[in-house]
Amino acid sequence: MGPRRYILRKLLHALATLAFVLSVNFFLFRILGDPVTLLSRSLRLDPTEQLELRQELGVADPLPQQFVNYVGDTLRGELGVSFLSGRPVSQVIAERTWPTVLLVGSATLFATVFGLLAGIRGAWNRGSAFDSGSLLGSLVFFSMPEGWLGMILLIVFAGTLGWFPAGGMESVEPYTGLQHVTDVLHHLFLPCLTLTLGYIGEYTIIMRSSLLEVMGEDYVTTARAKGLRDKMVRRHHAVPNAMLPTFTLIFFSFGFVLGGSIIVETVFSWPGLGLLTYGAIDRLDYPVIQGVFLVFSAAVIVANLAADITYGYVDPRIREA
């Protein structure tokens, strides 16, 4: 199958998945409960006012009609208005997107890079002190509760030593330019460290076992027998083949970035999407819930699509299949 047909097929798959997600997104949250009852209680509405509220919020129409409206609005980029605050959902989500991307994105990036490097080195020098150390470290940090680790770091480095702020994404002073960048980095350090340590184990272990498998293959022995230096064998023959399983993991991890991290966001008071989602679910703020899940699902689907397409380029065997 030629490259163009391959890409097209993957693209169509992605769109179909997105359409399915849209439908599930809409119907699933209707099961959670009726927001109008909640709102009418705090506003103390009588039955006529309740009906008006239902109409205003668009929940008075029969379900199929609501769904059609929902699809139409979504395609136009109109995600509705928050039940709780009356602010446009797209604005509410947009405010929180960059902080999430910054925190979870950078942590994922560091965890990927350092995790892969550590996994490669561990497998290549199997049995060494480094290998045992990194394996132990990976398991320890991976199984450690993020919230606990984050809290310890916060108490020691922010509370007691005062080296870092105890929360938030930026200082109140209106810094600009480079000062602003370093201010945000200063706030970012502890939460990013917490998340990185939590994620890093995954990559180390997968990369390590994948590489160990490849190292036993015939073509690696051949490359060595040809007289290539160790570093070259590793870099050009072993690692590229060992990368394939981790590839999917990496792409998915980046797809999940927009899901945020509720626990770390809570510990460090980081204004991200994770907490927004949790709060919206708790208060049955349908438009926000739907908006966030749509954005999140779309991100995962796009990441999956990117993985599929890149796979096709990286490994010709997949394209030929």
Window 163 to 192, contacts with other proteins (CB under 8 A): 163-173, 175, 178-179, 181-183, 185-189
Report the residue number, 13 or 283, with the smaller CB distance to other proteins.
Answer: 283
Q: Is 126 exposed, middle or buried (0-12, 13-18, 19+ CB in 10 A)?
A: middle
Are 146 and 194 spatial neighbours (Cβ–Cβ below 8 Å)?
Answer: yes
Report the residue number, 19 or 52, with the smaller CB distance to other proteins.
Answer: 52
**Residue 107 lies near other proteins (rule: CB under 8 A):** no
Options 11-19, 32-40, 199-207, 210-218: segment touching other proteins (CB under 8 A): 32-40
Distance between alpha carbon 293 and the CA centroid of its chain, in Å? Answer: 12
Q: Residue 19: how many CB atoms within 10 A of its CB? A: 11
258 DSSP 8-state letter: G
Ordered DSSP codes for 85-129: T--BHHHHHHHHHHHHIIIIIHHHHHHHHHHHHHHHHHHHTTTSH
Position among 7, 18, 21, 45 found at the interface with other proteins (CB under 8 A): 45
Distances (CA, A) of 317 to 9, 13, 22, 250: 17, 20, 33, 20
Q: Which of residues 229-248 bind other proteins (CB under 8 A)?
A: 229-231
Position among 5, 41, 236, 317 found at the interface with other proteins (CB under 8 A): 41
Position among 18, 59, 84, 223 found at the interface with other proteins (CB under 8 A): 84
Options 6-14, 17-25, 111-119, 205-213: segment touching other proteins (CB under 8 A): 111-119
Alpha-carbon span 286 to 203, nearest angstrom: 36
**Residue 31 lies near other proteins (rule: CB under 8 A):** no
Alpha-carbon span 118 to 112, nearest angstrom: 10
Are 180 and 139 spatial neighbours (Cβ–Cβ below 8 Å)?
Answer: no
236 DSSP 8-state letter: I
Tokens 């309740």 — which residue? 50
Options 14-22, 46-54, 203-211, 293-301: segment touching other proteins (CB under 8 A): 46-54
Hey, is 226 helix, strand or coil? coil
For the four alpha carbons of 115, 116, 120 and 126, in that order, the dihedral sign comes to positive
**Residue 16 lies near other proteins (rule: CB under 8 A):** no
The nearest distance, CB 60 to other proteins, in angstroms, is 14
Report the residue number, 122 or 271, with the smaller CB distance to other proteins.
Answer: 271
Options 17-25, 90-98, 198-206, 288-296: segment touching other proteins (CB under 8 A): 90-98
The nearest distance, CB 8 to other proteins, in angstroms, is 35
Alpha-carbon span 80 to 253, nearest angstrom: 29
Contact pattern for other proteins over residues 258 through 277, marking x by CB under 8 A: -------xxxxxxxx--xx-
Tokens of 67: 């769904």
Report the residue number, 83 or 293, with the smaller CB distance to other proteins.
Answer: 83
Contact pattern for other proteins over residues 213 through 232, marking x by CB under 8 A: ----------------xxx-
**Residue 197 lies near other proteins (rule: CB under 8 A):** no
Residues binding other proteins: what is the number (CB under 8 A)? 72
**Which amino acid, one-letter code, is at 174?**
P
Cβ partners under 8 Å of residue 310, min gap 6: 247, 251
The nearest distance, CB 257 to other proteins, in angstroms, is 18
**Residue 140 lies near other proteins (rule: CB under 8 A):** no
Q: Which of residues 63-82 bind other proteins (CB under 8 A)?
A: 81
Report the residue number, 43 or 139, with the smaller CB distance to other proteins.
Answer: 43
